[in-house]
């Protein structure tokens, strides 16, 4: 039998059911199969109307086509199916569902309509089922819960990525279901996520990619999610209202209810939060066909794109994270006032000291507001005990309450560019250049997601996440090909430090590169390079950084076929105009173990944004391997799709 | 405004102080500084970089439509809305912050849940802000006291 917790139907009924579903109608049925004639009639009509092939049925059972072209549900929990082969047989599942409708419930909440209200409602409507000919039932728990949610309208929510955490660097999506109340915090959030107890990001990523976790849908008050993303993880959120009618949203909610405690394998790259959330939107309006528009990898921003193309997204509302709020408030203060605010948050100064500060009221408000938010951050980071927090927090709040509300214009901060303003996530680059006097043409492909030089609109500033990016050159003098780069992964996180936040910047990349070796000639090597360091905001609004690095190479051109060496890098990333980005960088590496090479490289790269899906890159670099010079200049046109 | 709030708090004769000596053990997690994610925040700067985020399923309960507040002392019976009590319990820090700052989404939600007429919210907010110390009387203040105190202040 399927899962242990499944309500097992009497065997005879199951058997009858299979006979009914698959037998030739003219054959006599076994005597104990005294099936309700109304059920027989409904089942016949369902087949005649081809209900098992309808999109709604596919959506409600999460059926998708496999590589061999058969339908199979993405959900592998037997509890979700009423027919034994329901996962792969839509018709059997539909027949079983109709059959279950005729089973009188033994107690409140046991009936099909209580457990699978969306299926029940759809079949009832399609077949115009007469409820008086079905058993009487009660669904008190379902009615109470769904009634509490109300479900008038729905919102697609996108908490942006958190570059410092590989597990969430792409962001996330969830659904908010709004009722009649004006406040959204007390709305409910429908979410799909993996249940995990691993706190190590690498274990998480590994298991996540290969389906090692089980995913569950959940429904809980939205304020819990807001606190989690906005306050704890410091991720800005974008809220897109969906153009769905109230009956459609109610269907969505009914379907979420059906998914309660149903597990399915979670795959980080495709069957992830964002992919599975599309089923909820489709449950509201099946003809949208969202889940079959996705590619091999499904990123949250892509699901927003898919939903946007289908015309159901309104413009988003922006919800800045606590980190953004603190940075915004702090930006209003000079450095003395910033230090003062930090001292307040650390208890180095008493709130009453502000009276002697001689500062205008707006400064005091901003100083206290920054300190109050930061103290919350310190508690979340467990830098202080709850008792100590409570004391300091109340003292700051009491002082703050005496200053009245902040003037409306004090906190008018501009919104960052919207996620949908960003370039699409795959880039192809065509160009050419000259490397040490030899001309070449180049073809580049960056399947996912965003390089440091790509236009920042819609992405996190200072973050680079690339998977499987490759560059192939065609050398003009000898008509030969050269694999310049093939990186499996290339991540760079530059997070500026300020008086409040002291994050580390870091990088990790691995893959093939063509590099000048100790005699100055180009060779293909395999590398693993990682580093960590500091970044600060420059006075021009950009990011300046420095990192200590380690670089390990393997390649036949090296003296000992393998080498590892330390290095140091410096860089400045400046947005000179909305459409113009400049990256200046210098690095030095010393390979003595396994090689005799000192590699110094300086570069000046620029990117000119032409449109949302195209840009032009102009790249210069000069490197010295020992005393051998290599220069490279190239121009590349980038197209994003 | 008195009229507005009267629906939920007609006779708030019992002030928060009457409850202050209530069962202390019952009120764990009903006050300020209560973290919802004990295991998620990490102070280590290195592990911060490699920390997993579950994108949201840290609790065991996946369907928290009516999460209980049974471990907290309940406010006076006139404000028996489960939604209000749940909300204030989970958002007490942010509610205190918004009251001190005189505005904010948490305060707006609180006002809505206790039935303040939208036209009166500015006055409601200002009144609560001006009487912050009467609502958050000490660092040991708990849910029931905060709700009762806030309504007492608003109705004064």
Band (pLDDT 50/70/90 cuts) for residue A12 is: very low
CB nearest A167 (choices: B46, B48, B53): B53
Chain B contacts of A196, Cβ < 8 Å? 52, 54, 57
Looking at the complex, does the CB of residue B27 fall below 8 Å from at least one CB of chain A?
Answer: no
CATH code, domain with A618: 2.40.160.40
A182 and B61 within 8 Å at the Cβ level: the answer is no
Question: Cβ contact (<8 Å) for A168 and B53?
Answer: yes
Does residue A414 register a pLDDT over 70? yes
The answer to whether the CB of B63 falls within 8 A of the CB of B106 is no
Give A272-321 pLDDT, tens digit per residue.
Answer: 777 888 899 999 999 988 887 777 677 888 888 888 989 999 999 999 99
Candidates A77, A160, A175, A199, partner chain B, best to mutate (most B CBs within 10 A): A199
Q: Which residue does chain B place closest to A380, by CA atoms?
A: B41
- B64 and A233 within 8 Å at the Cβ level: the answer is no
B103 within some domain:
yes
> What angle (nearest 5°) sits at the alpha carbon of residue B36, between those of residues B31 and B40?
140
Cβ partners under 8 Å of residue A480, min gap 6: A474
For chain A, positions 180-209, list CB contacts with chain B under 8 A: 181-186, 188, 191, 193-196, 198-204
Domain boundary among A331, A366, A401: A401
* Cβ-defined contact of B42 to A376 (cutoff 8 Å): no
Which among B58, B86, B103 has CB closest to A405? B103
- Pairs across A and B, CB distance < 8 A: 213
Query: Does residue A195 belong to any structural domain of this protein?
Result: yes
**Selected residues 434-473 of chain A with any CB under 8 Å from a CB in chain B:** none
* Mean pLDDT, residues B95-104: 96
What is the predicted pLDDT for the residue at A19? 45
Q: Per the domain annotation, does A551 fall within a domain? A: yes
Same domain, A550 and A602: yes
CA distance A55 to A185: 33
Candidates A393, A503, A507: best to mutate against B (most CBs of B within 10 A) is: A393
pLDDT band at B6 (very low <50, low <70, confident <90, very high): very low
- Let me know: does A597 contact A518? Beta carbons within 8 Å: yes
Q: Is residue B55 part of a domain?
A: no
- Band the pLDDT of A154: cuts 50, 70, 90: very high
Q: Is the pLDDT of residue A10 over 90?
A: no
Residue A428 has pLDDT above 70, yes or no: yes
In a domain, B133, yes or no: yes
Confidence check: pLDDT of A163 > 90: no
Position A369 in a domain: yes
Question: What is the H or E stretch that residue A378 is in?
Answer: helix A361-380
Task: For chain B, positions 47-86, list CB contacts with chain A under 8 A.
Answer: 47-58, 61-67, 83, 86
Q: CB of A107 within 8 Å of any CB in chain B? A: no
pLDDT at A75 over 50: yes
In this structure, are A534 and A603 located in the same domain? yes
Q: What is the predicted pLDDT for the residue at A390?
A: 95
Is residue A417 domain-resident?
no
Residue A109 and residue A33 in one domain: yes
Interface of A with B in 502-521 (CB under 8 A): 502-504, 506
Judging contacts by C-beta atoms under 8 Å, the chain A residues touching residue B121 are: none
Helices (H) and strands (E) in chain A, counts: 16, 23
Task: Report the alpha-carbon distance of residue A150 to residue A75 in Å, rounded.
Answer: 27
The pLDDT mean for chain A works out to 89
Nearest-Cα distance to chain A for B8, in Å, is 17
A229-274 per-position pLDDT tens digit = 888 888 999 999 999 999 999 999 999 999 988 888 777 666 677 7
pTM: 0.86
| Residues of chain A contacting B43 with CB distance shorter than 8 Å | 381-383
Q: What is the mean pLDDT of residues A203-223?
A: 78
Q: Which band of pLDDT confidence, cut at 50, 70 and 90, is reported for residue A213?
A: confident
Assign residue A184 a region (left: φ > 0; alpha: ψ between -120 and 50; beta: otherwise): alpha
- Among chain A residues, the shortest Cα distance to B51 is held by A201
The pLDDT value given to residue B5 = 47
Main-chain dihedrals φ then ψ at residue A60, nearest 5 degrees: -65, -30
> What is the structure's pLDDT at A448?
85
Q: Are residues A235 and A123 in the same domain?
A: no
Residues B45, A502: C-beta atoms closer than 8 Å: yes
Instruction: Tell me which of A136, A161, A196 is where a domain ends.
Output: A136
What is the nearest CA distance from A261 to chain B, expressed in angstroms?
7
The answer to whether residue A229 is domain-embedded is yes
Range of the structural domain that residue A103 is part of: 11-136
pLDDT for B105-141, tens place per residue?
Answer: 999 999 999 999 999 999 999 999 999 999 999 999 9
Between A459 and A630, name the one with better pLDDT: A630
3-class DSSP state of A152:
coil
**How many distinct structural domains can be found in chain B?**
1
Residue B82 belongs to some domain of the structure: yes
pLDDT at A168 over 80: no
Residues A116 and A197 in one domain: no
Reported ipTM: the value is 0.86
How remote is the C-alpha of A424 from its chain's centroid?
Answer: 15
Same domain, A580 and A616: yes
A434 and A353, same structural domain?
Answer: no
Q: In terms of domains, do A202 and A344 share one? A: no
Chain B, residues 102-141, CB within 8 A of chain A, namely: 102-103, 105-106, 108-109, 112-113, 118, 125-126, 129-130, 132-133, 136, 138-140
* pLDDT for the residue numbered B36: 61
DSSP letter (8 states) at residue A230: I
Most confident range, picked from A122-126, A228-232, A264-268, A403-407? A122-126
- The reply to whether A413 falls in a domain is no
| Contact state of A186 with B83 under an 8 Å Cβ cutoff | yes
**For residue A595, which of A525, A507, A514 has the smallest C-alpha distance?**
A525
- Total domains present in chain A: 4
Kindly indicate the confidence band of residue A161, based on its pLDDT and cuts at 50, 70 and 90. confident
Range of the domain at B133: 1-7+77-156
* Residues 123-152 (A) with a CB less than 8 A from some CB of B: 144-145, 148-149
Is there a single domain that holds both residue A382 and residue A475? Answer: no
Q: Are residues A486 and A609 in the same domain?
A: yes
β-pair partners for A117:
none
Dist. CA A78–CA A84, nearest whole Å: 8
Q: Are residues A50 and A197 in the same domain?
A: no
Q: Tell me if A398 and B133 make a contact (CB, 8 A cut-off).
A: yes
Q: How confident is the model at residue A157 (pLDDT cuts 50, 70, 90)?
A: very high
What per-residue confidence (pLDDT) applies to B85? 87
My answer on whether A386 and A444 are in the same domain is: no
Q: Lowest-pLDDT range, A362-371, A396-405, A501-510, A624-633?
A: A501-510
Least confident piece of the model among A27-36, A148-157, A438-447, B29-38? A27-36
CB contact under 8 Å between B102 and A404, yes or no, is yes
Q: pLDDT digit string (tens) for A310-360? A: 999 999 999 999 999 999 999 999 999 999 999 999 999 999 999 888 999
What is residue A449's predicted lDDT score, i.e. its pLDDT? 87
Residue A93 covered by a domain: yes
- Domain-embedded: residue A582: yes
Q: What is the pLDDT of residues B43-93, one digit of tens each?
A: 333 334 344 344 444 444 566 665 555 567 777 755 557 888 889 988 999
Q: How confident is the model at residue B15 (pLDDT cuts 50, 70, 90)?
A: very low
Long-range CB pairs of A194-199 (<8 Å, 24+ gap) are A194/A266, A194/B54, A194/B55, A194/B57, A195/B54, A195/B57, A196/B52, A196/B54, A196/B57, A198/B52, A199/B39, A199/B42, A199/B47, A199/B51, A199/B52
Question: Are A405 and B102 in contact (CB < 8 Å)?
Answer: yes
* Shortest alpha-carbon distance between residue A607 and chain B (Å): 29
Highest mean pLDDT among A31-35, A165-169, A374-378 belongs to A374-378
Maximum pairwise Cα distance, chain A: 97
Q: Is the pLDDT of residue A6 over 60?
A: no
Per-residue pLDDT, A192 = 86
Q: For A60-89, what is the mean pLDDT?
A: 92
| Phi, then psi, of A608 in degrees rounded to 5 | -115, 115
């Amino acid at each position: 039998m399927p899962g242990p917790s499944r309500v097992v139907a009497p065997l005879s009924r199951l058997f009858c059911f299979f006979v009914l579903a698959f037998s030739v109608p003219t054959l006599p049925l076994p005597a104990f199969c005294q099936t309700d004639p109304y059920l027989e009639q409904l089942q016949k009509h369902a087949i005649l109307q081809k209900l098992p092939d309808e999109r709604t049925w596919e959506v409600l059972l999460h059926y998708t086509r496999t590589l061999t072209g058969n339908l199979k549900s993405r959900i592998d929990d037997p509890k979700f199916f009423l027919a034994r082969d329901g996962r792969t047989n839509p018709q059997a599942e539909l027949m079983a569902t109709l059959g279950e409708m005729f089973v009188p419930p033994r107690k409140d909440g046991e009936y099909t309509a209580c457990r699978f209200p969306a299926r029940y409602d759809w079949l009832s409507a399609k077949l115009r089922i007469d409820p008086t000919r079905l058993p009487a039932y009660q669904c008190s728990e379902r009615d109470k819960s769904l009634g509490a949610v109300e479900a008038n309208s729905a919102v697609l929510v996108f908490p942006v990525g958190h570059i410092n955490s590989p597990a969430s660097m792409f962001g996330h999506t969830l659904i908010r279901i709004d009722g009649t109340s004006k406040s959204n915090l007390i709305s409910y959030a429908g979410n799909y996520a993996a249940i995990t107890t691993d706190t190590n990001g690498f274990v998480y990523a590994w298991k996540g990619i290969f389906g090692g976790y089980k995913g569950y849908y959940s429904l809980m008050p939205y304020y819990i999610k807001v606190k989690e993303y906005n306050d704890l993880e410091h991720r800005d959120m974008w809220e897109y209202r969906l153009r769905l009618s109230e009956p459609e949203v109610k269907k969505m909610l009914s379907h979420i209810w059906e998914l309660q405690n149903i597990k399915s394998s979670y795959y980080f790259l495709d069957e992830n939060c964002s992919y599975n959330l599309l089923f909820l939107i489709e449950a509201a309006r099946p003809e949208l066909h969202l889940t079959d528009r996705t590619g091999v990898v499904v990123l949250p921003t892509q699901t927003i794109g898919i939903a946007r193309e289908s015309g159901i997204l309104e413009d988003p509302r922006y919800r800045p994270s606590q980190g953004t709020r603190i940075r915004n408030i702090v930006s209003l203060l000079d450095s003395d006032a910033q230090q003062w605010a930090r001292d307040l948050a650390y208890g180095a100064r008493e709130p009453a000291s502000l009276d002697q500060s001689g500062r205008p009221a707006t400064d005091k408000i901003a100083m206290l507001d920054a300190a109050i938010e930061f103290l919350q951050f310190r508690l979340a980071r467990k830098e202080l005990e709850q008792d100590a927090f409570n004391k300091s927090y109340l003292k700051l709040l009491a002082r703050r309450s005496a200053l009245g509300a902040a003037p409306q214009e004090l906190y008018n901060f501009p919104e960052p560019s919207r996620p949908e303003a960003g370039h699409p996530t795959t880039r192809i680059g065509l160009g050419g250049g000259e490397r040490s006097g030899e001309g070449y043409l180049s073809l580049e492909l960056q399947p996912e997601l965003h390089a440091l030089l790509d236009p920042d609109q819609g992405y996190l500033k200072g973050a680079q996440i690339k998977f499987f990016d490759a560059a192939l050159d065609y050398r003009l003098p000898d008509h030969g090909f050269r694999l310049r780069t093939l990186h499996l992964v290339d991540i760079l996180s530059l997070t500026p430090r300020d008086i409040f936040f002291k994050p580390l910047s870091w990088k990790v990349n691995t893959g093939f590169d063509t590099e000048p070796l100790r005699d100055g000639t180009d060779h293909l090597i395999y590398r693993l390079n990682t580093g960590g360091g500091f970044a600060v905001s420059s006075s021009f609004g950009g990011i300046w950084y420095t990192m200590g690095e380690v670089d390990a190479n393997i390649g036949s051109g090296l003296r000992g076929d393998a080498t590892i060496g330390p290095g140091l890098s410096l860089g400045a990333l400046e947005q000179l105009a909305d459409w113009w980005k400049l990256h200046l960088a210098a690095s030095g590496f010393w390979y003595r173990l396994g090689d005799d090479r000192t590699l110094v490289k300086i570069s000046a790269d620029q990117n000119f944004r032409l449109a949302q899906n195209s840009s032009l890159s102009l790249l210069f670099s000069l490197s010295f391997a020992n005393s051998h010079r290599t220069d490279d200049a190239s121009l590349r046109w980038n197209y994003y799709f | 405004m008195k009229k507005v709030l009267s629906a939920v708090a007609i006779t708030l004769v019992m002030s928060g102080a009457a409850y202050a000596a209530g069962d202390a053990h019952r009120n764990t997690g009903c006050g300020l500084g209560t973290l919802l994610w004990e295991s998620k925040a990490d102070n280590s700067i290195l592990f911060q970089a490699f920390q997993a985020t579950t994108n949201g399923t840290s609790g065991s309960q996946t369907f928290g439509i009516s999460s209980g507040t049974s471990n907290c002392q309940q406010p006076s019976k006139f404000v028996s809305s489960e939604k209000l009590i749940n909300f204030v319990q989970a958002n007490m820090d942010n509610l205190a912050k918004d009251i001190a700052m005189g505005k904010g989404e948490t305060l707006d939600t609180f006002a809505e849940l206790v039935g303040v007429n939208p036209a009166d919210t500015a006055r409601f907010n200002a009144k609560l802000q001006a009487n912050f110390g009467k609502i958050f009387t000490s660092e040991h203040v708990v849910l029931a006291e905060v709700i009762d105190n806030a309504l007492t202040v608003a109705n004064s």
